[in-house]
Amino acid sequence: MSGADLPRSRFSGYSSPTYFDDKHGMPTVLRLLNWRFHFYSNEGHEPPHIHVRAGDGECKFWLSPVRLARVDGVRAVEVRRMEVAVIEHEAFFLEKWHEHGNG
């Protein structure tokens, strides 16, 4: 799935999403606004999830269904905006999770 295949995001007006496929330890699959969506390689047998780094903070969201797993150093209003972005890109994140060999 390419960026062109994704549904229009409510964040499209803020920044064009950029997609990556880095197979080295901490694959970044999306950069949107000032957020980096990634997962760590070798996370054991956890269910599919995505980490979102913003400045010095980070959130972790479970996928399918999307729900907040952990937050560290991110304001509540930004966590909610991240959650909306994760919901909008959930299918893409799940695809990348499985392509990378997780789960």
pLDDT digits 0-9 by tens, 12-65: 544 445 555 454 457 888 999 999 999 887 776 889 999 999 999 999 999 999
The sign one gets for the Cα dihedral 63, 72, 81, 93 is negative
3 state DSSP class of 58: strand
Amino acid at 84: V
Amino acid at 55: G
DSSP 44: T
Q: 10: which 2 tokens?
A: 């409510």
**Domain spans in the chain, listed from the N-terminal domain onward:** 23-99
Neighbours of 82 (CB within 10 A): 24
| pLDDT (0 to 100) of residue 13 | 44
- pLDDT at residue 9 above 90? no
